[in-house]
């Protein structure tokens, strides 16, 4: 794994703008925490193996050496304890950034997230808040099997008081994480781990493409933010709107290119709060919609997106809304690519929406 020094030197050699560097998503996330630890003495970072070891994916590598063991520290294997401690820290003025090693492990912390963090502002009539950020690597595509591949975003978007975010590239990852840390409400920050080291279009049989070859890897080295509630149009188009986030943004781009359909692809970035205006404006223009996510189908976040499109755009639609998702099964290790919504499945949905 390349170090920051090598990456930044390579970025400058490749002609990155002054004050910017070519970063992987891992390095961009680390840079966000680095910036905020330096900028705000109330920011602390902790979790399982995030201190001396630098995290299982090395997102916090070097931060403990730089800021000390009181600002960046390891915690026991107790997700409920991690989040419970963070709620208390936040109530007394700190801004904790907690890492849950895999999103699949958050379940023991559910009561602290839902009953405490999400409700604290309301139940205290605004006297206390929970300005905590909970980072979770999520999604499949790495042969992690059923306990290292889940996409639980819909469980969080259902909870009033939580903000839920999922970036798809290094630039957004850093800007959104800084926004999350500065936010006074609890933020669930989901990180598609298949995108940590490069964009992934769903073609697992092809060589891995590194972030160093993509313009969205050019990340300012200092402070900047990407606001919540503002989607990004990845690819303008006129035929059909594709609503996606995380890894599925790249899969949808591949599907549009392979089918030749002029799809407008929207990267939601923030799932809740949601940029509903961008969605409605696009669907009213294209008059067709495909929703794509990696999580299981039933009661997935795509069901909410579909309902919103139906509610706000019904009289503009010229075809049924399509939904491409994971299957309603545990994430299978041996049949990963049958479960993973690849470009062939997304492309088939695009074609169905265009049928006369």
Give the rounded percent of residues in the chain with a pLDDT score beyond 90: 92
**pLDDT confidence of 17, banded at 50, 70, 90?**
low
Check whether residue 237 and residue 119 sit in a common domain.
no
Of the residues 122, 148, 158, 312, only one is catalytic, namely 148
* Radius of gyration of the chain, Cα coordinates, nearest whole angstrom: 20
- Mean pLDDT (the chain) is 94
CB 8 within 8 A of CB 14: no
Check whether residue 155 and residue 270 sit in a common domain.
no
Q: Is the residue at 226 inside a domain?
A: no
Total domain count, the chain: 2
Check whether residue 111 and residue 193 sit in a common domain.
yes
129-167 pLDDT per residue, tens: 999 999 999 999 988 999 999 999 999 999 999 999 999
286-303 pLDDT per residue, tens: 999 999 999 999 999 999
Residue 123: name the closest of 83, 94, 87, 155 by CA. Answer: 87
Q: Domain boundary residue among 167, 188, 220?
A: 220
Check whether residue 270 and residue 315 sit in a common domain.
yes
Q: List, as one string, the DSSP characters of 91-130.
A: HTT-EEEEE-SSGGG-GGGHHIIIIIITTHHHHTTTS---
Residue 40's contacts (CB-CB under 8 Å, 6 or more residues apart) are 95, 181
The CATH number linked to 55 is 3.40.50.970
Q: Is the residue at 225 inside a domain?
A: no
Q: Domain boundary residue among 166, 189, 220?
A: 220
Check whether residue 202 and residue 288 sit in a common domain.
no
Q: Domain boundary residue among 220, 245, 270?
A: 220
| CA-CA-CA-CA dihedral for 110, 272, 269, 240, to nearest 10 | 120
Phi/psi class of residue 143: alpha, beta or left (left: φ > 0; alpha: ψ in -120 to 50)? Answer: left
- Looking from the CA of 336 toward its CB, the CA atoms found within 13 Å total 19
Q: Is the residue at 263 inside a domain?
A: yes
- For 270, list phi and psi in degrees, rounded to 5: -100, 115
Task: Give the per-residue pLDDT at 12.
Answer: 34
Identify the H or E element spanning 323.
strand 322-326
Q: Is the residue at 26 inside a domain?
A: yes
Asked whether the predicted pLDDT for residue 316 surpasses 90, the reply is yes
Task: Give the per-residue pLDDT at 163.
Answer: 98
**Which residues constitute the domain of residue 214?**
4-220
Task: Give the per-residue pLDDT at 4.
Answer: 31
| H helical segments located in the chain | 4-13, 25-39, 63-67, 79-91, 110-111, 120-123, 153-157, 170-182, 247-259, 276-286, 301-313, 336-339, 343-353
pTM, whole model, 2 decimals?
0.93
The CATH number linked to 313 is 3.40.50.920
State the Cα–Cα distance between residues 351 and 222, nearest whole angstrom: 43
**pLDDT confidence of 18, banded at 50, 70, 90?**
low
Q: Is the residue at 227 inside a domain?
A: no
Check whether residue 197 and residue 341 sit in a common domain.
no
Q: Is 325 exposed, middle or buried (0-12, 13-18, 19+ CB in 10 A)?
A: buried
**pLDDT confidence of 356, banded at 50, 70, 90?**
confident
Asked whether the predicted pLDDT for residue 42 surpasses 70, the reply is yes
**pLDDT confidence of 9, banded at 50, 70, 90?**
very low
CB 150 within 8 A of CB 103: yes
DSSP label at residue 261: -
Check whether residue 157 and residue 254 sit in a common domain.
no
State the Cα–Cα distance between residues 15 and 37, nearest whole angstrom: 28
Give the rounded percent of residues in the chain with a pLDDT score beyond 70: 95
Of the ranges 15-29, 67-81, 160-174, 231-245, which one carries the lowest mean pLDDT score?
15-29
Q: Is 148 a catalytic residue?
A: yes
């Amino acid at each position: 794994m390349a170090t920051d020094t090598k990456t930044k030197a390579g970025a400058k050699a490749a002609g990155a703008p002054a004050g910017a560097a070519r970063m992987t998503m891992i390095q961009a996330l680390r840079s966000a925490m680095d910036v905020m630890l330096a900028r705000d003495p109330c920011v602390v970072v902790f979790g399982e193996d995030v201190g001396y070891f630098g995290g299982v994916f090395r997102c916090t590598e070097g931060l403990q050496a730089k800021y000390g063991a009181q600002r960046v520290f390891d915690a026991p294997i107790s997700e409920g304890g991690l989040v419970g401690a963070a709620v208390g820290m936040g109530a007394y003025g700190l801004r904790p950034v907690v890492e849950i090693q895999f999103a699949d492990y958050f379940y023991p912390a559910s009561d602290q997230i839902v009953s405490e963090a999400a409700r604290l502002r309301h139940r205290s009539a605004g006297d206390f808040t929970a300005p905590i950020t909970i980072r979770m690597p999520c999604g499949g595509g790495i042969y992690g099997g059923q306990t290292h591949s889940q996409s639980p975003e819909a469980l969080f978007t259902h909870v009033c008081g939580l903000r839920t975010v999922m970036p798809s590239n290094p630039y957004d990852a850093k800007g959104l994480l800084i926004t999350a840390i500065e936010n006074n409400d609890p933020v669930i920050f989901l990180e598609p781990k298949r995108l940590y080291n490069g964009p992934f279009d769903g073609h697992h049989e092809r060589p891995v493409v590194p972030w160093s070859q993509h313009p969205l890897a050019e990340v300012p080295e200092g402070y900047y933010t990407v606001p919540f509630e503002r989607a990004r149009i990845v690819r303008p188009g006129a035929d059909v709107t594709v609503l996606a986030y995380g890894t599925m943004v790249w899969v949808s781009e591949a599907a549009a290119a392979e089918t030749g359909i002029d799809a407008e692809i929207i990267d939601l970035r923030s799932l809740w709060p949601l940029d509903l205006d961008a969605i409605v404006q696009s669907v009213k223009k294209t008059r067709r919609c495909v929703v794509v996510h990696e999580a299981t189908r039933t009661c997935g976040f795509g069901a909410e997106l579909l309902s919103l499109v139906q509610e706000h755009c019904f009289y503009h639609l010229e075809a049924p809304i399509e939904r491409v998702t994971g299957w309603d099964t545990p994430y299978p290790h041996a049949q990963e690519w049958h479960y993973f919504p690849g470009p062939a499945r997304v492309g088939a949905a695009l074609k169905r929406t265009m049928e006369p």
